[in-house]
Amino acid sequence: MENQLKPEQIHGKKLVAVAGYEIFGKQLITTVNKELEDKNLLLIGINIRDEDFDFFIRNLAKSKVETTIFLPEFQKRSAEFYGVEGYLIAVYKKDDKMKFLTDEQEIFMDDTNLIRVIKTVEGV
C-alpha cells in the first residue's frame, strides 16, 4: 500500500493523531508532517465512525499515541466524555496523566491550526 507507514518512519518518534471522519490519507497530514519533520513527531490520521467513538476514546490512555487532536465533529463529544467544559481540541499525555486543550468554540483544523495545536501541546 502506498500510504502505509514503514517501521523506520515511526521508530523513535512521538505519535500525534488527528481523529475524525475520513481524515486518513488527506493532504493535510502530509503537509503538517513536512512542516514538523525535524521535531521528532509523526502525525497520523485516524478515521472514526460514530459507532466506534466510545471504544476509541476509552482506549486513548493505553495507546502508543501521545497526543490526539480532534476534528470538529468530535470536539464536543470528547469534552463530554472527559467531563471538561467547552470543546476538547486535544488530549495528550504528560507526566503519566491525561491533559486537555479546550476552547469555548469548535475549531476547524486546517494545517495552520494543526501546527498551532501541536506546538502548544508539544512545546515545539
Q: How far apart are the first and last CA of the chain?
A: 31
Instruction: Say which CATH architecture domain 7-122 belongs to.
Output: 3-Layer(aba) Sandwich (3.40)
pLDDT at 11: 61
Stronger pLDDT, 13 or 62, i.e. the higher one: 62
- Taking CA atoms, 98 is separated from 30, 38, 69, 111, in Å, by 27, 25, 13, 24
- Say whether pLDDT at 17 is over 50: yes
Distance CA 80, CA 86 (A): 9
Segments making up each domain of the chain, as ranges: 7-122
78: cell is 470528547
- Say whether pLDDT at 57 is over 80: yes
pLDDT at 27: 87
CA-nearest of 97, 120, 117 to 18 is 117
